[in-house]
Structures are given as structure tokens and as C-alpha cells.
Structure 1
Amino acid sequence: MGEIVRFVPKTELERARLIREARTIYDSIFPPAAPDRVPQDSEDRVKT
């Protein structure tokens, strides 16, 4: 009986949806960097 119900305004739901959509588009253009990627031998050497 002690449950609390939170009513979320429609504008807040729409804002959250637009942010998710924008993040998806951004990630498709600029993929997140893979932090666990190990540089290849040719990438870590300076070419002279």
C-alpha cells in the first residue's frame, strides 16, 4: 500500500525521446572510440 506513482508530463517524455534519437544519430556519424583497442605496430611507430 505504500507505493508512490510518479506522473511524467508528456513534454518530459518527448524530450527524452528526442535526446535518445539525437544520440543514436550522433553515434552513427561519430562512433564511440573503442578504449580496449590496441594500436598496431605500424600505428605506434613514427615514420621518418
Structure 2
Amino acid sequence: MGQVIQFIPRSERERIRLVREARAIYDSIFPPAAPLKEQPARALTIPAVGRASVLRTDEIPS
């Protein structure tokens, strides 16, 4: 109880999925310099027209 559920439109979810898929393809072609275990946690920044959405699992508003 007390949890807030945020509505995310289907188009936004699809855009996020496509960005993640593109990033996975890019990383498979051009691997990151350090293994994922050694890299610091980073935010997923998704550019949009006139704004940027930043998604972090540890900063979800409650």
C-alpha cells in the first residue's frame, strides 16, 4: 500500500524498447571499453524532441 503507479503510454514504452534494442546491437558491434561489472551505474538517457528522459531504477519517485 502507498505505492504510486506511473502511467507510461504505449508509444513511450515502445520507444524505450527500441532504444534498448539499438543500444544492445551497438554494444555487440562496438563493445564497451570495460566489462559491465567494472563500469559505474549510469542513467539511461533517451533523447526526445525538446527534452530528455532519464530513467534510473534507484530514483523512481514514490
Please state which structure has a larger fraction of its residues in strand. Answer: 2
Q: C-alpha distance in 1, partners of 2:5/2:24? A: 30
TM-score (norm 2): 0.48
SS in 1 for 2:7: coil
Deviations 1:15-48 (A, max 9, x none): 000000000000000000128xxxxxxxxxxxxx
Alignment RMSD, CA only? 1.8
CA radius of gyration, larger in: 1
Equivalences, count: 35
TM-score (norm 1): 0.60
How do 1:1-48 and structure 2 match up within 5 A? 2-34=2-34
Please state which structure has a larger fraction of its residues in helix. Answer: 1
Q: Percent identity?
A: 69
Structure 1 gaps, min length 5: 36-48
